[in-house]
Structure 1
Amino acid sequence: MTDCCIHPTCVVDDHVSIGSGTRIWHFSHIQSGAVIGSDCSFGQNVYIASRVRIGNGVRIQNNVSVYEGVELEDHVFCGPSCVFTNVLTPRSRYPRRAAAYARTLVKEGASIGANATVLCGHTIGRHALIAAGAVVTCDVGDHALMSGIPARQTGWVCECGTILPDTLRCPECGRQYQPSGTGLKEVQP
């Protein structure tokens, strides 16, 4: 943990890896075994569970808990109070162990809006955008715009974050896309 900024009110357990340039703000807790990349920013009251992997350039806003079984690739954005789960059938009397945690993968450049909920066991594709308050109950394709409860695809989003028109050419940055599998891929000029 060299060249990072950790507020004195934070609790960082032993055996945590934090990359250079990462900033962790007030009242956050990072548990043993977590791996956090470089140039990340965690807001106030962020909880990172054991064995969570977080890539480079990730932004996690206030009041977000990233539970064991969740992986965030590079440049993921987690809006304020978004929620991840890691067990589909929780019980207080019969607590689940790590082997029962369903894996959730949030791929490079995806954004999750404020107060959105991501049910465990799903993958959110590259550069996808989950609208504020949405509840994700299925896999999400690359560049998909998801909104509602449960979340449904309502459009496509460019890598730069602009909602794409029907032509799939971004009016802001000029990138052109075409359908590919369950998502979009950029067409190289």
Structure 2
Amino acid sequence: METTTIENDKQSLHNVKLGKDVKIYNFVNAYGCSIGDGSKVGTFVEIQKGVSIGKNCKISSHTFICEGVHIADNVFVGHNVTFINDKFPRATNKDGSLQTEADWSCVETYVEEGASIGSSATILCGVRIGKKAIIGAGSVVTKDVSEHTVVAGNPAKIIKSADKILV
């Protein structure tokens, strides 16, 4: 992977490790992350430091991938998906001072190979989305999703096995 920095009117990439044939559309903000070979990142996506995106992934527009998220190969992330990395976010400390990076702990999230996350899903921190699992559009994932499982709803609940609908 080659480390890239691009700053212009249409992209802001700082210290991004890019694989071969990566396509990044306009108005993407990415920094301190890695994106594997053949992956595509849609318009208006933010990818924060420490994020890893595998090979041949599709990250659709308006998605937010925060620090602590690890996405394996061949993963689909629909439009407007939001990942969260803090279980108890606060703007200020007990003394009223604004919180800084030193005032919280990043909780990691893992999306395993071949999983699909539907548009407008919210993925809470500390979960693992299993291999080839499917997350329904608009779902709120609050706990681990087993491989080859379809979940949907708020909170996301098992709908069925994905074995018969996946190739």
For the superposition of Structure 1 and Structure 2, which TM-score range results when normalised by the shorter chain?
0.7 to 0.9
1:157-172 map, 5 Å: 157-158=162-163, 162=165
Give, in angstroms, the shift of residue 26 of structure 1: 1.1
1:8-157 map, 5 Å: 9-13=10-14, 15-31=15-31, 33-94=32-93, 95=99, 97=101, 100-157=105-162
Task: Letter of the 1:22 partner, please give it.
Answer: V
TM (norm. structure 1) is 0.78
**Whose Rg is larger?**
1
Residues 26, 43 of structure 1: 8 Å contact kept:
yes
Give, in angstroms, the shift of residue 63 of structure 1: 0.2
Runs of at least 5 residues in structure 1 that lack an aligned partner in the other structure = 164-172, 174-189
Q: Matched residues, percent identical?
A: 35
Residues 56, 75 of structure 1: 8 Å contact kept:
yes
Give, in angstroms, the shift of residue 162 of structure 1: 1.5
Higher strand share: 2
Give runs of ≥4 in structure 1 deviating > 4 Å: none
Residues 124, 140 of structure 1: 8 Å contact kept:
yes
Task: Deviation per CA, 1:78-117: give whole Å up to 9, x if none.
Answer: 1000110000100111336376011100000000000011
Greater CA drift, 64-73 or 99-108: 99-108
C-alpha separation in 1, matches of 2:55 and 2:48: 17
Structure number with higher relative contact order (C-alpha < 8 Å, ≥ 6 residues apart): 2
C-alpha separation in 2, matches of 1:21 and 1:127: 24
Task: Letter of the 1:12 partner, please give it.
Answer: L
Task: Deviation per CA, 1:123-171: give whole Å up to 9, x if none.
Answer: 000000000011100001001100111000010113xx817xxxxxxxx
SS at match of 1:16: strand
Give, in angstroms, the shift of residue 8 of structure 1: 6.4
Task: Deviation per CA, 1:32-88: give whole Å up to 9, x if none.
Answer: x21110100011001110111110001000000110000000011110001100001
Give me the CA root mean square deviation: 2.1
Change (3 A) 1:152 1:128: same
How many residues of Structure 1 are paired with residues of Structure 2 in the alignment? 158
Runs of at least 5 residues in structure 2 that lack an aligned partner in the other structure = 94-98
Residues 90, 96 of structure 1: 8 Å contact kept:
no
